[in-house]
Amino acid sequence: MLDLRQYQSLGAALRDALDRWPNETCLIEADRDREKTRFTFSDFKEMALPLARALEDADFKPGDRAAIIMTNQSKWLLSAYSIFYAGGVLVPLDYKLTAAEHMQLLAHSRAKVAVIEYYLWRAIMQLPEFKNLKVKTVLVTEAPASAELAGVFRWEEFRRKGDPAFVPRHREDVACIVYSSGTGGRPKGCVLTHENYLEQCMALSAWYPFWPGVRYLSILPTNHAIDFMVGFIGPFVCGACVVHLRTLRPENVRDAFVRYQITYMSLVPMVLKNLERGLRAKFDALGVPKRALLKGLIRLNKSLTRRSPNVALSRKLLPQVHKAFGGELRALFTGGAFIEPSTLQFFYDLGIPVANGYGLTEAGTALTLNDFKPFRADTVGKPLPGIELRILHPDREGIGEVAVRSKTVMSHYLDDPELTAQTIVGGWLLTGDLGRFDGDGHLQLFGRKKNMIVTAGGKNIYPEDIESAFEGLAVKEYCVFAANYIWPAKSLGKEMLVMVLRLEQGQEFRAALRQELVAANRRLADYKRVGGYVVWERDFPRTASMKIKRAELAEEIGKGLDRMKSVVEL
């Protein structure tokens, strides 16, 4: 791989990677059983530079911000490289957000350019607030030939002849603004520098190096912090190849493993759990003799790889299992949410080690990762090189808030000095997660100190961000909390949102109010929905400016109500 210590910016590192491995395949795009695109590093460069030249002509200046809103595809990576080449700041937005949420974040980030899929752009255009959009240049991808694009450019045609000027940036300059949450409430735009990403890439590749010939299967959205690093920056600066799938149907993912002989893949715990269920169902469907033989071979593999994985041995003992994954799979990566140790152990026993990790957007990508020395299914691994972790105010069990100090930690929250000061204290990022170190230096997590949950799909949900969905509710006041924030459970995996209702004087909780709650709840995406409610008998404590004192209210409720008896499911 490139020696990233020698580079000042992602743009410079990526530019040299394209020149160093011109004939290696860097990107494959497949849709169902058909391969749509295959680029060498030289092809990628040839496609990207005319776009960078067009941005230059569109008065895109160093430090200007460009948002990308699209699914995994070659145009995402080509656009990102062109933005970095031109000295711009990338704003990767989740394409699964609503049009209103996209509008909010485009405005908050002050993006000058937006690269967006046509169907998403049409949804934004239909908003009443569309007239207030201040994005100067919009590039839409895959627009029909008959589409009316007044004032908007087709991505495929937005290119100019001539060599663009490469704009150098420095390590302390902003590379990306990544939103960890904030849709519908207080936007949390993490400002990440070029140094943050270069240091993160060096830390990850120290334990899990890529090289020419490695193929990484990208199924997470590229805007996701994990896939941006492991499915774009990491492979490219190592001369490896990224395989994008335009569909995530299970049969197409299985086919991609075999067809492209995948080496690595990242996935959220929910997908890993689904994969486990599918394999267990296939094993159970075997005849009695074959099932008994398989169980015996799994036990033997488990015994021989107890201390460390031996993929070559596992492939010999369990050839059919490994052939189903293409025969070249070395490891899977997962993180972002709680996952049962039994699931990690299941895959490890098959000779498919899963590197479970822990991180947060504010700290780049990953803070800890399982290095399999030895394999531990009950932890989130050890701190990566260059990552310093500390447990603040540990209790008698050694459990306290996890804090991190590292060159991967963000610069600040965009336009929010108050939140930044609360989150980064004395150079330490306060994660809001509760954990402790065991005797071997592995980190174990035990829940959250902050008012949030992380879904099985890896989504961060901050309760205050979804309260607007219940605006107009016929009660005196209401507030949404993570249940474990009110009643600390020191556990993960069973997190839910709870609404606290304060009724008007003399008001009773009737069926009509419940129906109102249920209807508002259904308008939210599944993973954002409130799981239950409690009725609180006192007025909410408030500041002089009438803001709810959430921490004080949560403490009062926790002391005043028994969780099991009080929460009514919706």
Percent of the chain with pLDDT over 70: 99
Structural tokens at position 416: 């929010």
Greatest Cα pair distance in the chain = 76
Domain boundaries defined on the chain:
4-260, 267-448, 466-569
Residue 184 has a pLDDT of 52
Residue 270: closest CA among 205, 336, 194, 319 = 336
Residues 243-266: b if buried by 16+ CB within 10 A, e if exposed: bbbeeeeeebbebbbeebebbbbb
Q: How do residues 178-200 score in pLDDT, each as one tens digit? A: 998 644 567 899 999 999 999 99
Give the CA distances from residue 465 to residues 183, 325, 461, 504, 524, in Å, rounded to whole numbers and listed in that order: 6, 40, 8, 24, 11
Residue 204 has a pLDDT of 96
Under 8 Å between Cβ of 60 and 88: yes
Same fold, 4-260 and 267-448: yes
**Running along the chain, 570 residues long, what does each successive block of 10 average in pLDDT?**
97 98 97 90 98 96 98 95 98 93 95 97 95 96 90 95 96 96 72 98 96 95 92 97 86 90 92 90 95 96 94 96 96 87 95 95 93 91 97 93 97 96 96 91 88 79 84 90 87 84 92 92 89 93 80 91 84
For residue 391, give every residue at least 6 positions away whose Cβ sits within 8 Å of its Cβ, in sequence order, or none: 398, 399, 400, 401, 402, 403, 435, 436, 437
For residue 171, give every residue at least 6 positions away whose Cβ sits within 8 Å of its Cβ, in sequence order, or none: 8, 9, 193, 194, 195, 198
**Cα torsion through 271, 273, 277, 283, rounded to 10:** 100
Can you give the pTM of this predicted structure?
A: 0.87
Instruction: Give the domain 466-569 fold.
Output: GMP Synthetase; Chain A, domain 3 (3.30.300)
Give CATH for domain 267-448: 3.40.50.12780
Residue 357: closest CA among 222, 254, 230 = 230
d(CA 442, CA 364): 20
Q: How do residues 407-461 score in pLDDT, each as one tens digit? A: 999 999 999 999 999 999 999 999 999 999 998 899 999 888 888 888 877 778 8
Structural tokens at position 184: 């519908």
CATH 2.60.40.150 for domain 4-260, yes or no, is no
Q: How do residues 39-69 score in pLDDT, each as one tens digit? A: 999 999 999 999 999 999 999 999 999 999 9
Residue 545 has a pLDDT of 63
Residue 171 has a pLDDT of 98
d(CA 80, CA 91): 9
Q: Which residue type is seen at 22? A: P
